[in-house]
């Protein structure tokens, strides 16, 4: 690998570290603002959804099975089923649609 790659890697590493370290260094007291606290509480769920949701459609053999399974698991989630139940329903729906197609 060339020297330019290592320069880019070092810069990227420093920026990533700074994004995580600066709030820890400069924010010493508990956050009491309810708006900021609720924003920070939802960040892990938002990031997880943004990383996994697009992959739902393309992880199966057909786009149709991904779309149908997504619609059904959203409905199952709306009915407040547990995470395990929703995941099992989604897998079952994908398998059934894949067998039909």
Q: pLDDT digit string (tens) for 5-29?
A: 999 999 999 999 998 888 888 888 8
Q: What is the pLDDT of residue 52?
A: 84
Answering whether pTM is above 0.85, one says no
Residues 85 and 76: beta-carbon distance below 8 Å: yes
Per-residue pLDDT, averaged over 64-73, amounts to 92
Per-residue pLDDT, averaged over 49-78, amounts to 88
End-to-end CA distance of the chain: 46
Q: What is the pLDDT of residue 94?
A: 92
- List the chain domain ranges: 31-100
């Amino acid at each position: 690998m060339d020297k330019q790659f290592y320069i880019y890697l070092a810069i990227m590493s420093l920026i990533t570290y700074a994004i995580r370290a600066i709030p820890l260094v400069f924010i010493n007291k508990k956050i009491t603002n309810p708006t900021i606290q609720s924003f920070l509480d939802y960040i892990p769920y938002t990031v997880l959804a943004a990383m996994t949701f697009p992959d739902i459609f393309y992880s199966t053999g057909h786009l149709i099975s991904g779309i149908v399974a997504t619609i059904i698991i959203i409905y199952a989630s709306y009915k407040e089923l547990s995470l395990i139940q929703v995941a099992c329903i989604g897998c079952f729906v994908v398998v059934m649609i894949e067998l039909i197609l």
